[in-house]
A and B are shown apart, each in its own frame.
Chain A
Amino acid sequence: MRLDLELIQDTLIVRLSGDLDLGVADYLRDVLEDSLDRQPVKNLVFNLAGVSFVDSSVLGVLLGRYKRISRNGGKVCVVKPQPQVHRILELSGLLRIMAEFPGETDALENIG
């Protein structure tokens, strides 16, 4: 897994790539929680363009961050998941609570 974080105004962009499974779930949760603790973040954008695999352990991490962000009135969205990842997100129901955008620019325009 590769992970890159960028704060644009009050939106944290989380760029993920590689395989996301139980082997990285705890690390990802810790990094995101640390980042949300350290700075004022209202919204969260998960850029999943480079993600080749995801399972329920990481969907749980995304859901946990959604709960935290939405509790504070923010929004969470996903950018450009590959087809197999899109299918998992859809089946899990996460796409009913997180909007999906084709690029980060669209996400940032619509989320603020």
Chain B
Amino acid sequence: MRFINQMKLEFLSIPANVAFARVAVAAFASQIDYTLPDLEEIKVAVSEAVGNSIIHGYGNAPDRVVKVHAALTMDTLEIMVEDEGIGIEDIDKALEPAFSTDDERLGLGFMFMHSFMDSLQVDSAPGRGTVVKMSKRTGTGVTRIGTEQ
């Protein structure tokens, strides 16, 4: 797969950066041919992944680092959200809808990521952080990126 663009963000694990991350990734993704609803879905998926790192991975500690990598091919966005937090003990259970370790949370984060992206992969182990990889294809074909000379 040939990437036409890549980017990497690193930021502190504070809630204000959830908006920063999703807006940055959506702006990056808009270089290829996504519809506005596609971009809204990407924003939700990024918010959920980064939110999980902050809340669950780092237990709301504000001085840790969340990393977001994104890469584009002509028709696909790949996103990787990475933390070095506590990790997930039982990934299958975490991926179940309505599972949450917190009473007022709905446990919908992974469900939204799964619904809105074409692929979702979670790599995690207790004490070893979590990496969430997601990808999404454009629905309607390819925008020409190169300019004609």
Contacts and interface: CB of A to CB of B under 8 A. Distances in A.
Contacts of A60: 102, 104-106
A56 B109 contact: yes
Contact of B51 (A19, A55, A91): A55
A59 B44 contact: no
B106 A23 contact: no
A53 to B, nearest CB: 6
Contact of B18 (A23, A59, A61, A92): A23
Contact of A88 (B19, B22, B112): B112
Interface string B8-29: 0000000110110010000000
Interface residues of A, number: 21
A63 interface: yes
A91 B111 contact: yes
Nearest to B102: A60
A88 B105 contact: no
Interface in A1-47: 19, 21-23, 25-26, 29
Contacts of B51: 21-22, 55-57
Contacts of B15: 21-23, 25-26
